[in-house]
Amino acid sequence: MLSKADDYPIHQSPEPVAFAGQSRNFYDRYFFNGYDQEEDFFFALAMGIYPQLDVIDAGFSIIRNGVQHNILCSRPLGMERMDTQVGPITLKVIEPLQRLQIDIHVPEHGIEAQLIFHGRAPAQEEPRFTRRHGAQIFMDYTRMTQNGCWEGWVKHQGTHRVIEPQRILGTRDRSWGIRPVGAADTQENPAAPPLSQFYWLWAPINWADGISLYHLNADADGVPWNTDGRYLATAAGQEGESMLSVASRLKFIPGTRHAAAAELFFRRREGGEVHIQLKPRFHFYMKGIGYGHERFAHGTYQGGEANLYEEYVLAEVDDALTLHIQAVCQATMTGDLGEKVGHGVLEQLIVGPHAPSGFRELLDMAPE
């Protein structure tokens, strides 16, 4: 079960705070995104704490006018996990499991912001992610996800934008446990084949009167090893609903592993089905906040305090080489929960074979 303490970066194991443990690859991370329901405006933040590596890092990205602007920061942790400031990026927990604040101060690149996240529904603890690689634990972590809205302001390259919660929605997650972080292990694990397959989808959606969550980790045959789907009404006192079964189907952009469109299928425990269609509007590239970044990958020691600024023109990014994305989507729902229009993201990371998608090799792409 989740507690208020689980919103602070003080975990010692993949369990909630009540349990303790140690691993070189232990991490404790925040993630946020926010998006305009109409315009192509988006922002995201990730902050990771790595107690055994004694490193803390963070990244903030903003998309405006077809360009993704990224600031990546890292510093030694100094064994103080409650100090959640990295260079120009600061994160504060105002009300655990409900309100958190992000402050950004990068005037030399024209980026300043104060953003407050408000949960629209209670945070949801997902099924524990556990995956072995030969004799070693590859992943073992707990994650909670919460959909919400934003208020505050953003200054970017001479513009000042007021962030209004009626218009700017988003999602946050908190995860803690074991993942590959920092420099890779140099010693080969003789019981394990090379890491060459990973299939991941995540689709948190904000609806006018509720939120839905979906995720999928699957093996090369398409068999899920971790998946879940939920719906929660935002009305006070409403109970959330965990689905009996969930599935998804993607239509790929030719020459890529990214979805041109996606469908989610929910089967309710008491009968009835729900169909969600996702139509991507534009892509956010996750390496802008450190995921798989060539230099600022999560947990990588930079030799001291270090900052990096980058820009990506979205129309110029090679999607065949940039696999980890969040597609900002318009969503429509039909079926047993009624007809709805919503907004959200479809996160995608597909590496190696996946039979249902027609992928047979490490990086073959959808046919033209």
Is residue 338 in a domain?
A: yes
Q: What is the pLDDT of residue 252?
A: 98
pLDDT digits (tens, 9 = 90+) for 316-343: 999 999 999 999 999 999 999 999 999 9
* 172 pLDDT more than 60: yes
Q: Tell me how many domains the chain contains.
A: 1
Mean pLDDT of 32-43: 96
Q: What is the pLDDT of residue 185?
A: 80
Q: What's the start-to-end Cα distance of the chain, in Å?
A: 47
State the Cα–Cα distance between residues 366 and 368, nearest whole angstrom: 7
- The sign of the CA dihedral 93, 94, 97, 103 is negative
Is the Cβ–Cβ distance between 49 and 294 less than 8 Å?
A: no
Tell me if 64 is assigned to some domain.
yes
Q: What's the token pair of residue 342? A: 């919503």
pLDDT for residue 18? 46
For residue range 128-158, what is the model confidence (pLDDT) as tens digits?
A: 999 988 888 889 999 999 999 999 999 999 9
Phi–psi pair at 316, nearest 5 degrees: -105, -5
Residue 368 maps to a domain: no
Q: How confident is the model at residue 22 (pLDDT cuts 50, 70, 90)?
A: low
> Which pLDDT value is given to residue 57?
98
Predicted confidence at residue 167, as pLDDT, reads: 97
The confidence band for 3, taking pLDDT boundaries of 50, 70 and 90, is: low
Report yes or no on 4 lying in a domain. Answer: no
Residue 359: the pLDDT is: 97
pLDDT tens digits, residue range 189-233?
887 777 889 999 999 999 999 999 999 999 999 999 999 999 999
Res. 8 pLDDT band, cuts 50 70 90 = confident
Q: How confident is the model at residue 184 (pLDDT cuts 50, 70, 90)?
A: confident
The answer as to whether 149 is a domain residue is: yes
Give 336-346 pLDDT, tens digit per residue. 999 999 999 99
pLDDT (tens digit per residue) in 40-79: 999 999 999 998 899 999 999 999 999 999 999 999 998 8
Query: What mean pLDDT is predicted for residues 168-185?
Result: 93
CA torsion angle 321 325 328 332 (round to 10): 100
pLDDT at 14 > cutoff 90: no
In a domain, 3, yes or no: no
Is residue 358 very low, low, confident or very high in pLDDT (cuts 50, 70, 90)?
very high
d(CA 324, CA 303): 27
Q: Which residues contact 106 (CB under 8 A, 6 or more apart)?
A: 71, 88, 112, 309
**Domain assignment of residue 17, given as a range:** 9-183+194-357
Q: Does position 1 have pLDDT exceeding 90, yes or no? A: no
Please report, for the domain that includes residue 255, its CATH number.
2.40.370.10
Provide the pLDDT for residue 194. 76
Which tens digits make up the pLDDT trace of 68-123?
A: 999 999 999 988 888 899 999 999 999 999 999 999 999 999 999 999 999 999 99
Per DSSP, the three-state class of 6 is helix
Average model confidence (pLDDT) across the chain = 94
Predicted confidence at residue 183, as pLDDT, reads: 87
- The answer to whether residue 1 is domain-embedded is no
In three-state secondary structure terms, 288 is helix
Q: Please determine, for residue 19, whether its predicted confidence score (pLDDT) is greater than 60.
A: no
Q: List pLDDT tens digits, range 242-282.
A: 999 999 999 999 999 999 999 999 999 999 999 999 999 99
Whether residue 366 lies inside any domain: the answer is no
Contact 275, 294 (CB under 8 A): no
Residue 142: closest CA among 171, 121, 173, 118: 173
- Asked if 153 and 43 count as a contact pair (C-beta separation under 8 A), the reply is no
